[in-house]
Structure 1
Amino acid sequence: MLSRFRGRGAVRHRRSSRQAGWSSASAMSRTSFATHFRTVAGMPQLTYLNRWWMLPAQRALRDGDDPIGSLASALGYTSVSAFSSAFKREVGESPLRYRHRLRGEKLAH
């Protein structure tokens, strides 16, 4: 499962340059593009990107058995804590709780 994510970590860390690239590709200033993006998407670019970035994480947690730490590393996070915090902020629960809930498993306490 993790082989799908190799190399994506570098992409995740280039988000701000990607945002700038979006505005130049659209021949708009960054401010104009940000305003237009928010109007069309209903959210700021960074919020959109953060939500989008959690989709492969959610899929891997649902379908794979890789440890959370391996997944975090494959997705470009520097620590399990950073990944878990970002995941919880976007999804509303920890990666482990998410995995167990989707699979109908009980968490060991």
Structure 2
Amino acid sequence: LVKLSDETDKRSANIASTSELVVPAQLDDSELDSIRQTARAAFSALSCKCFARVDMVLGNDGKVYVRRVRSIPGLDRQSIFTRLVTDSGFTYEDMIRLLITSVVELD
């Protein structure tokens, strides 16, 4: 997300309405590697299963900081998680099917 203003959505306390979602992120390979490693470490440290959305910030110092981990991110068609998945080339139906299959395979 690229921040467009300092205002936040008071009801949901998220910045989606005051930000622009840019997919893929405009980052170099080193930054992407650091973000992937940080996301995997947070996912593992919290014993997440199947999927989660790891919200991070790339600081001015070049370090990646985890803001929060959403083990059950929003799954409606306008949610950030869904937009990331569909902007990556998957359909909404593909995403739901994959999530259900992943959960069933855990059992």
TM (normalized to structure 2)? Answer: 0.30
Higher strand share: 2
TM (normalized to structure 1)? Answer: 0.30
> Which has the higher Rg, Structure 1 or Structure 2?
1
Identify the structure with bigger relative contact order (alpha carbons < 8 Å, sequence gap 6+).
1
